[in-house]
Amino acid sequence: MSDGPPSRYPSRWRPLWRLLGALVCLAVITVTVRQCVFPDPPAKPDLHCAPGVVKRGKGAECVGVTDGAYVFSKELREVTRKIRAENAEAEKSGDWVAVAYTEPMTRRGDWKAANDRGADVVRQSLEGAYLAQMKFNHTGGEGRTPKIKLLLANSGQSGEQWKPMVRTLAAMADDPEERLVGVAGFGQSVKTTELAVEALREKGVPMVGSTVAAESLSTVRPMFFRVASTTSDQAAAAA
């Protein structure tokens, strides 16, 4: 007879429990070593700004295409709000098409250093686009005329993010549900503007340049139409 308390488990089970204990210790050591030697990679930064708008480039600018759900800069807040409201009314009608207005709408520093138009000029341009949208939607043309949904397409400071913007616009032009029929604006006559125009031209997207005056942005070739006179025409008129 044993003098001590009875064992909780039969003696024949003791090797099994020792083995299980060793396995648990081994698992704990393995997890600890893995976390020390192979730590989990840091979480990827959230690049999402809004539907259709993501952070890109050196300054992580929010660039892309929006219907007014996202405000690219504080100077554009009020006009963006009005555009979004009018877009909602256009969609309610069921009979609408989309036109995108594009130019650099964000900046990392000084507008002049970026060779972009200033914040006030961009705001005034969007206000003009909004007034044109309102006039067209509420006075309309003859017969059955669809309403205009005005999209804002930001190409980033100096137009640096023109490539992803063009990809987005081209995809929208190919998607019947998006109903994109053209792109307007384009801001300054700089190299990135020329590249964006050429890329959209290749995709067959109609364009209207509001203030661009560079000779290279020719209206002779199809798909691009200019409102402003070329620099040479302006110089000749001033002579």
**79-100 pLDDT, tens digit each:** 999 999 999 999 999 999 999 9
**Cβ partners under 8 Å of residue 201, min gap 6:** 207, 221, 222, 223, 224
User: With contact defined as beta carbons under 8 Å apart, do 105 and 62 qualify?
Assistant: no
Dump pLDDT digits (tens) for 160-198: 999 999 999 999 999 999 999 999 999 878 889 899 999
Q: What is the pLDDT of residue 133?
A: 96
> Which residues does residue 63 pair with via DSSP β-bridges, in sequence order?
54
- pTM, 2 dp: 0.76
Which residue do the tokens 């913007």 mark? 165
**Cβ partners under 8 Å of residue 112, min gap 6:** 118
Going from N- to C-terminal start, the domains of the chain cover 48-238
Give the mean model confidence (pLDDT) for residues 28-51: 62
Kindly indicate the confidence band of residue 58, based on its pLDDT and cuts at 50, 70 and 90. Answer: confident
CATH of 48-238, one of 3.30.1150, 1.10.10, 3.40.50, 4.10.1110: 3.40.50
